[in-house]
Amino acid sequence: MSNYEEKSVIPLYDGMNKIPGGPMVIPLILGSIIGTFFPDFLNLGSFTTALFKSSAGPLIALLIFSTGMQITVRNSGPVLAHTGVVLLCKTLIPAALVTLLGFFIGNDGFWGISLLAMLTVVANSNGGIWLAFTGKYGDYRDRGAYIASAVNDGPFFVLLFLGASGLADIPISLMVAAVVPLLVGMVIGNLDPKWTNLMKPTGAIVIPFFAFALGTGINLHSIVTGGFTGIILGILASLFTGFLVFIGYKSILKRGNQSGIGFAAGSTAGNAIITPEIVAQADASFTPYVQTATAQIAASVLVSAILAPLVAAWVLKRQGGLDTQQGDSQ
């Protein structure tokens, strides 16, 4: 058998993987560039539009499905524990604090950042960043905690916390719809381990593609419009929520020098960009905030996608966590 290994003309894949969260971050940025400056290319139709513009939803659903297959009866306890900590520290605590702040600052917020923008940014997380990072530095417990992103993705928690004052009906069906692919995957994975093995590489395959598709919805002109406030919002939200998950990893999960992984959760999902419009449809009083909030959230998506994995890798390195081999090969 020949030991010859075909060399890349340009090492695109290796270069992308040198950046923490690179398989998500790089395509996301490229997609935003194409979507901003060459939008007509994305509207050619047929397979071009289907893959490069409209594929995010189905591919994310496939990723959730395959993630469920990796959660077996034997390992479900640790996975659910990690999921609970990530959901508590990344979404529930920050969203509760921002909502409490809203009683003092009102919907207008401060520094030109509305309550709607603040709540949207902290209430969800970028599951692609999480999986790209934990796929390299974590184990099955961390990757399984992607369930938290499956649950908090979209406007549900924003509506939930705003709905405490009767602003909107709580669409419980959204929560159910978000976890059905995961539950089906868990059932199939436990019934037939061959399916579990077959679906293992799914994350590495689909993340760059749905990241690009999500990126096409981020208009760089809007980020310029969001300007300084959007960038500041992204930085503060990323560091604050990431730190809370880091504390959860360290104090609750007792992950020691692997606790830095928690900072990778400090991101904002690409889908969050559409949340202000959905909230405004539920309560018209939020309509004046939609345009500015959308621009600020778009800036936060890009800023946090870059910052969260970089900070997580830096903390892991300082704590010696990068030298720890995770034993999961499931």
User: What is d(CA 16, CA 32) in angstroms, rounded to the nearest whole number?
Assistant: 17
User: What is d(CA 151, CA 323) in angstroms, rounded to the nearest whole number?
Assistant: 31
- Which residue range is the domain that position 278 belongs to? 54-322
How do residues 239-289 score in pLDDT, each as one tens digit? 999 999 999 999 998 888 889 999 999 998 877 877 887 788 777 888 888
Answer yes or no: is 10 within a domain.
Answer: no
Which of the two residues, 322 and 186, has the higher pLDDT score? 186
What is the predicted pLDDT for the residue at 42? 87
The closest alpha carbon to 226, from 312, 280, 293, 290, belongs to 293
What does the longest C-alpha to C-alpha distance in the chain come to? 71
What is the predicted pLDDT for the residue at 326? 45
Answer yes or no: is 18 within a domain.
Answer: no
CB 329 within 8 A of CB 323: no
Q: Which residues pair with 18 in a beta bridge?
A: none
Retrieve residue 93's tokens. Answer: 């605590």
Which of the two residues, 131 and 121, has the higher pLDDT score? 121
User: What is d(CA 181, CA 186) in angstroms, rounded to the nearest whole number?
Assistant: 9
How do residues 18-35 score in pLDDT, each as one tens digit? 776 677 778 888 888 998
User: What is d(CA 261, CA 280) in angstroms, rounded to the nearest whole number?
Assistant: 35
What is the number of structural domains in the chain?
A: 1
Answer yes or no: is 229 within a domain.
Answer: yes
CATH number of the structural domain spanning residue 110: 1.20.1530.20
| pTM for this prediction | 0.74
User: What is d(CA 311, CA 316) in angstroms, rounded to the nearest whole number?
Assistant: 8
The closest alpha carbon to 154, from 28, 319, 252, 277, belongs to 277
Residue type, 273: I
Answer yes or no: is 71 within a domain.
Answer: yes
* Residue ranges with strand state E in 197-317: none
CB 189 within 8 A of CB 69: yes
Answer yes or no: is 327 within a domain.
Answer: no
Answer yes or no: is 39 within a domain.
Answer: no
Residue type, 241: T
Answer yes or no: is 133 within a domain.
Answer: yes
Answer yes or no: is 46 within a domain.
Answer: no
The closest alpha carbon to 67, from 135, 156, 20, 136, belongs to 135
Retrieve residue 300's tokens. Answer: 């936060």
